[in-house]
Amino acid sequence: MARLVFLGRFREIANPALAQVTLPGGVRTLAGLKDWLAEAEPALGKALDSARTQIAVNQVLVRDPSHPIVHDDEIAFLPPMSGG
């Protein structure tokens, strides 16, 4: 099981069932996860597909699309921030 976290406007688009999800065996990297999401949830895939979307793995920002995903990872999708 991976834990997927969608923040801000991504959360409103994402299927709540994705919070705890068993990923197919072929999904082994962040790029693979994004491809899988784009297929399973096209509207969400489209929203995530921006250079300004950031991804955190286990609460650390990761920029490398080939970053591996392992069991129990917490993977968060962050839209552009609007703090302050």
Partner 1 sequence: MTVRVTEEPFDPGAEIAAFNTAHGHAGALATFTGYCRAATAGRPVGTLYIEQYPGFTQREIQRLADDVSRQLGTLDLLVVHRVGAIRPGEAIVLVAAMAAHRAEAFDAVRLLMDYLKTDAPLWKKESGPDGDRWIEPTAHDHARRAKAGEKV
Q: Which residue lies nearer to partner 1 by CB, 23 or 76?
A: 76
Interactions with partner 1, residue window 11-50 (CB under 8 A):
11
Q: According to DSSP H, which parts of 1-84 are helical?
A: 9-13, 30-40, 42-48
CB of 42 to partner 1, least distance (A): 20
Q: Which residues of 18-31 are buried (b: 16+ CB within 10 A; e: fewer)?
A: beebebeeebeebe
C-beta neighbour count of 1 within 10 angstroms: 9
Span from 21-29, 33-41, 62-70, 72-80 in contact with partner 1 (CB under 8 A): 72-80
Q: Which residues bind partner 1 (CB under 8 A)?
A: 5, 7-9, 11, 56, 59, 76, 78-84
